Copies of this chain bind each other. A is one copy, B any other.
Amino acid sequence: RMESLPPSRKLSDKCIPPAPPDMYCVFVLGGDGTFLSATRWIGGMSVPILGIKFGEVGFLAETAEDNLFSAAETVLSGEFTTMPRMRLSVRVFREGKVIASEPVLNDIVINKGALARLARMKTFINDRYLTTYRADGLIVSTPTGSTAYSLAAGGPVIHPTVPGIVMTPICPFTLTNRPLIVPDSVSIKICLDPDSTDIMLTFDGQAGLEINEKDTIVVRKSARPIHMIAMPDRYYFDVLKTKLQWSGERI
């Protein structure tokens, strides 16, 4: 999708040939970065996808390396269910033209460079003015992404089946902010204030685009969710406790 962008606006993706249209399912062997990369690769296709954790971190994986073969057997026998995971459809407009259009499974992040001043991000919900975030950045995340960067920025944990979108500012320059969860039916529009420099927009932590005051970012729920293969013995809150050490009690 990004290949046709002019060089200066090229995302940092390596060039990957597009996914073949006739896949039965996708097995992703790796960590969350690899999984997110695979979801970008399959684009709008509704092919079932299974993450198999290789290595340290794997919140998106349904199973671990040890169970690769039994998981494969289960899937090949056709005896599996899939769970849809909402994605966000993100479009960036510059002077009326779409300069980027990406689905994300976790989040988009607007982030200032290490030496830049505060970013000022004017935000609209369904075209009505919400606020101008003054912060290091802003995360717009799916429930799936709530346990990724949004959590580090102070956001809540949202079960993947809650149809909401969370907006979490990064180091907001005010005491009066809190993460905000809006219904997944809204359209979120973000513009930078004039004189914004050195601001990046990243898609699922995978690809980045330098943005400026001429750009408008529009985020909506994507019509095409990710179809994650669900292992029968897997339970969201167990993952939460194992991976994040989330707990109500002393651990």
Contacts and interface: CB of A to CB of B under 8 A. Distances in A.
Which size class do A's interface residues fall under? 35 or more
Interface string A90-120: 0000000000000000000101111100001
Interface stretch (A20-28, A129-137, A222-230): A129-137
Which of A121, A170, A171, A244 has the most chain B CB atoms inside 10 A of its CB?
Answer: A171
A163 B162 contact: yes
Contacts of A208: 114-115
B111 A177 contact: no
A182 B159 contact: yes
Contacts of A132: 248-249
Interface string A139-162: 000010000010111111111011
A173 B183 CA distance: 25
A143 B180 CA distance: 11
A12 to B, nearest CB: 6
A245 B251 contact: yes
A42 interface: no
Given A175-B177, A177-B175, A248-B134, A154 B152 contact: no
A174 B251 contact: yes
Given A156-B178, A175-B245, A115 B149 contact: no
Nearest to A171: B152
A179 interface: yes
For the complex of A and B, list the 4 residue pairs with the smallest distance between their C-beta atoms, beginning with the closest.
Answer: A133-B248, A114-B200, A131-B248, A152-B171
27 contacts: A12-B115, A113-B113, A113-B114, A114-B200, A115-B200, A130-B237, A131-B237, A131-B246, A131-B249, A132-B248, A133-B248, A134-B248, A143-B181, A156-B166, A156-B180, A156-B181, A157-B178, A158-B180, A158-B181, A159-B180, A159-B181, A161-B183, A164-B164, A175-B176, A175-B177, A175-B245, A177-B246
